[in-house]
A and B are shown apart, each in its own frame.
Chain A
Amino acid sequence: MASSVPEVRRLPAQRELRVASWLRAAGAAALAAAVAAAAFLAVDGVRREPAVAALAAVLVAALLLLLAQRSAGRALASENRRLTAAAATATRELRASRARIAASAERERRRIERDLHDGAQQRLVALRIELELAEELIGRDPSLAAERLRELEREVDEALEELRALAHGVYPPLLADRGLVEALRASAAHAALPVELDATGVGRYSPEIESAVYFCALEALQNACKHAAGADRVAIALDGRSGWELRASVTDDGARLPAGRLAPGAGITNMHDRLAAVGGRLEIGPAPGRGCAVRIRVPVPLPVRRPPGRPR
């Protein structure tokens, strides 16, 4: 599921292979020189022409070099085939992940449309109808009409609140304004279980990274609240100290995750894809002791070093 790219890990093999083929060639040359020397020594008593011995030695060396090169060529060709296959697999994985990201964006758009249709739009249409009813009522029963109008005011408030919540779901304003820690702290305050949030060295990152980590951590928190049997609390940890990687974990203290129970549902696939889109990865496993831990890692650009001595 985590989209590792095999050919990147195997790059050193090419260099090793080249070194190996050179070593083989050098070995062959040394062997040839040894053969030539031995031949020269063996025929010492016979008094052969040194030029003939030298020629024989050069011929043997050339033959051995040729053989070494051919075997190295074959090894290289096989390695190339393996790398090509690995690249094809990686490309397939990447395409599948991209298709899933596109599909999930599409699903998200449809969800927003449905939420707007079922929520604010329905309320506004209902208000439109009821305002007309209230208008008719004014002539007949002004005090009842006034009461109805007050009700409608409350309904306007509800419609506004629904729109606000929907906009918040699309992109939480707190995340844009104050960053990951504050946004997660605010969301955690409304969770069904008590949440302990611990953040170290977390700065501001690009909106894509911040929203990917925010929504995945939130999804993990909601999963823990919903599914973790016997959990009393959830711990969220954010760690950006390394400077090149942002780590987040959501850990509950519920029942230990039985092996194989975690069938990846749509929520988890979404998390994987959302993180993969920013080069991150997700691991879900048992937490130390008890419970379940969701670990998120996202590479972040190294902080820009400012010239020393210049205040920001």
Chain B
Amino acid sequence: MSGTVTVLAVDDQEVFRRTARRLLAAAPGFEQVGEAASGPEALRLAAELRPDLVLLDVRMPGMDGIETARRLARSGVGATVVLISLGELPDPVSLRSVGAAGCLRKQDLSVRALDRAWAAATGGAATDAPRGRSAPP
């Protein structure tokens, strides 16, 4: 794994896509390569950009995040999918069944949370970029 994790952020809400841009810009070791506003757009961009990580909103009109994750896994783009949700988090069983590596509550998203989620999803391989702040114990 190279030093930089490329990220595709997927959310139907413009407000949140903007926040994701700022978050990823501020997160050392991560680089946003694209953003999508819907499931179908996410599938297309994932195939085109081949990101390491897809941050995928659960609740979207039409094809929701769960279905998008399932199709991403089937399409074989090989991206690690982390679902993000404003409401209830999907249970671990359905997470595994759709091939998502993890999930995060939207309100908990931060540089550290992103880092931890990436580490957990990839089996402890944290990004090797220098941290702006020390990680919590």
Contacts and interface: CB of A to CB of B under 8 A. Distances in A.
* A and B: bona fide binding partners: yes
Interface of A: 117-118, 121-123, 125-126, 128-130, 132-133, 136-137, 140
Interface string B55-93: 000010000000000000000000000000011000000
Contact of A122 (B15, B111, B132, B133): B15
Main secondary structure on B side of the interface with A: helix
30 contacts: A117-B59, A117-B87, A121-B86, A122-B13, A122-B15, A122-B16, A122-B86, A123-B15, A125-B16, A125-B19, A125-B86, A125-B106, A126-B15, A126-B16, A128-B107, A129-B19, A129-B109, A129-B110, A130-B19, A130-B22, A130-B23, A132-B111, A133-B23, A133-B26, A136-B26, A136-B111, A136-B132, A136-B133, A137-B26, A140-B132
B113 to A, nearest CB: 9
A153 B86 CA distance: 22
Contacts of B133: 136
Contacts of B15: 122-123, 126
B61 to A, nearest CB: 9
B18 interface: yes
A118 B15 CA distance: 9
B111 A126 contact: no
Interface of B: 13, 15-16, 18-19, 22-23, 26, 59, 86-87, 106-107, 109-111, 132-133
Contacts, number: 43
Nearest to A159: B15
Contact of A129 (B13, B23, B87, B132): B23
Nearest to A118: B13
Contacts of A118: 13
Contacts of B19: 125-126, 129-130
Given A126-B15, A129-B19, 8 more contacts: A117-B87, A122-B16, A129-B23, A130-B23, A133-B22, A133-B23, A136-B132, A140-B132
A132 B133 CA distance: 12
Contact of A117 (B26, B86, B109, B111): B86
